[in-house]
Amino acid sequence: MSLEDAQALSADSDFKPFVAPEVAPEVRNAAMKKLFADPHYNVMDGMDTYIDDYSKADPLPESLLRQMASASFLKLFEDSPESATPESTADSKVLEADTHHDHTDLRLQPNNAAGSQGPGRGTQ
């Protein structure tokens, strides 16, 4: 087997002789390259881990990004919800986010725990 034999291969050719142990690695590689250039074998199945385009500028929707605490801390948006309603409580923010959320599976759960009762005497 030679490189010329590998270059002469077609989709209907028998590739078995090119994977024999006595075939030179460069000839085997040329044959495999020719085999996988065929569209029948050169199809993405979507199961590859790194096929997504990770250069996208906005991986999170803006409505979800506006609700993140880090977005308000970094002042990513000029019209922050804190400046619109400074007297709102944390519970009302949770309920507001819960009713206007685009992604229902990512909603915040309401905080039904009792609030602070004021300064106590500690463990005494």
pLDDT in tens, 55-78: 776 567 888 888 888 888 888 888
- 24, part of any domain: yes
User: What pTM did the predictor assign?
Assistant: 0.37
Q: Please say if the pLDDT value at position 96 is more than 60.
A: no
Assess if residue 25 is contained within a domain.
yes
Determine what percent of the chain is predicted with pLDDT higher than 70.
63
Short-list 8, 6, 4, CA closest to 18: 6
pLDDT higher than 90, residue 29: yes
Task: Give pLDDT, residue 88.
Answer: 47
Mean pLDDT of 117-122: 68
Is residue 18 scored above 80 in pLDDT? yes
What pLDDT was estimated at residue 26?
93
Angle at 97 between CA 94 and CA 99, to 5 degrees: 110
Distance CA 105, CA 112 (A): 20
In a domain, 115, yes or no: no
55 inside domain: no
Residue 116 inside a domain? The answer is no
Q: Is residue 45 part of a domain?
A: no
